[in-house]
A and B are shown apart, each in its own frame.
Chain A
Amino acid sequence: MKISVIITLKKDVLDPQGKVIHQALDGMGFDDVNEVRQGKYFEIDTKETDPKKAKNKVEEMCKKLLANLVIENYKIIDA
């Protein structure tokens, strides 16, 4: 089954890439943007068929590799 993960930077962590994207959008005329925060998106296709077990495994992957919990949060979707 497929499980998706979204990784976002925590609120207080500086996101220079997001800031530059915001500036570019502003320059293109999208001048009503308050803030842009860049994140990561993963699609994980696992052999596990039990949704609960699969979700638990992906959660472990997030904690051990996909996210660095000092600066990032993860959110598992499609479980």
Chain B
Amino acid sequence: MKSAVITFPGSNCDRDMDVALKKFGFKNKMVWHQDIELPKSDLVVLPGGFSYGDYLRCGSMASKSKIMQSVINFANSGGMVMGICNGFQILVETGLVPGVLLRNKYLEFICKNVFVKINNKNNGYFKNISNEVLELHIAHNEGNYFCTNDQLKEIEDNTQVAINYCDPEGKIEEPFNPNGSIKNIAGIFNKEKNVLGMMPHPERMIDHSLSGEDGSHFFKNLINNLK
């Protein structure tokens, strides 16, 4: 399986993502934001970081990068595109997934492990995964998911919520919401479920001795789904 990770000026999780993808069997290529064409890929990843120094709005400048037209075309033709953290912010700015990510409710940069409940397994990302809850890492200043009431209704009607912040048992309640996101939303899909944006970093949870293994479950399952 082939993957591509886009590096923007200010991306800083691109290498981690490269390591994670390769560890679980992807043949990964790094792609510079000024390239025009994507290499042939089964999965395209927009990594975390601070693209363009978070100028204007997080992800807004990167969403207008040269490579993004190819990424948008790839997504619109059914290709799997995953945006993590800043990559999620870039995805909302392109309009590939609905909503926006605002400043965290309590104005803190949050860097910690959280639990997320998988809300929808009927897609290429979470199909066949045995876990209901994953422990993943978040590190962001703007992860407060917001959308209009009309958008929220549409998102829920189309089962586009991918994961919600929860407790270790999977209880989705306000005390486990780190950043003020509507309905504890931590990740969402586009309507067709081939595009996934999420704030947590699965690539940071792929080594038992460093962190945890829940990211490993995610990537192992992902590559099996793509085969």
Residues of A at under 8 Å CB distance from B?
13-14, 16-17, 20, 65-66, 68, 70-71
* Interface pair B105/A14, CB less than 8 Å apart: yes
Contact: A13 with B102, CB < 8 Å? Answer: yes
A70, B64: Cβ atoms closer than 8 Å = no
Of chain B, the residue at the smallest CB distance from A70 is B100
Q: Cβ of A70 and Cβ of B106 under 8 Å apart?
A: no
Q: Which residues of the other chain, B, contact A71 by a CB distance below 8 angstroms?
A: 100, 102, 146
A6 CB to nearest B CB, Å: 15
Count of interface residues, chain B, beta-carbon cutoff 8 Å: 20
What are 16 A-B contacts defined by CB distance under 8 Å? Answer: A13-B102, A13-B146, A14-B105, A14-B144, A14-B146, A14-B180, A16-B104, A16-B105, A16-B107, A17-B107, A65-B56, A65-B60, A68-B93, A68-B100, A70-B147, A70-B148
B57: Cβ under 8 A from any A Cβ: yes
Alpha-carbon distance between A16 and B106 when the two chains are bound, in angstroms? 7
Cβ contact within 8 Å between B60 and A14: no
B170 part of interface (Cβ distance < 8 Å): no
Interface centre among B56, B105, B107 (most CB of A within 10 A): B56
Question: Would you call B103 and A68 a contact (CB within 8 A)?
Answer: no
B151: chain A residues within 8 A (beta carbon): 70
Contact present for B56 and A66 (CB under 8 Å)? yes
Q: With a CB–CB cut-off of 8 A, which chain A residues contact B144?
A: 14
B93 to chain A, nearest CB (A): 7
Contact A70 B99 (CB under 8 A): yes
User: A65-B60, A68-B93 are contacts. A17–B146 as well, Cβ < 8 Å?
Assistant: no
Q: What are the residues of chain B within 8 A of A66 when measuring CB–CB?
A: 56
CB-nearest residue of chain A to B63 = A65
Instruction: Identify the closest chain B residue to A17 (Cβ).
Output: B103
Complex CA distance for A17 and B103, rounded to whole angstroms: 8
Closest chain-B Cβ to A3's Cβ sits at a distance in Å of: 17
Question: Complex formed: what's the CA distance from A77 to B147 in Å?
Answer: 28
Known: A14-B102, A16-B103. 5 other contacts (CB 8 A): A14-B146, A16-B106, A65-B56, A68-B57, A71-B100
A16: chain B residues within 8 A (beta carbon):
103-107
Report the minimal beta-carbon distance from B13 to chain A, rounded to whole angstroms: 23
Please give, as numbers and ranges, the residues of chain A lying within 8 Å of B106 by CB-CB distance: 16
Residues in B whose Cβ lies below 8 Å from that of A20 = 107
Q: Closest CB-CB distance, B107 to chain A, in whole Å? A: 5
Question: Among residues 179 to 207 in chain B, which have CB atoms less than 8 Å away from a CB atom of chain A?
Answer: 180
Within 8 A of A (CB), among B127-167: 144, 146-148, 151
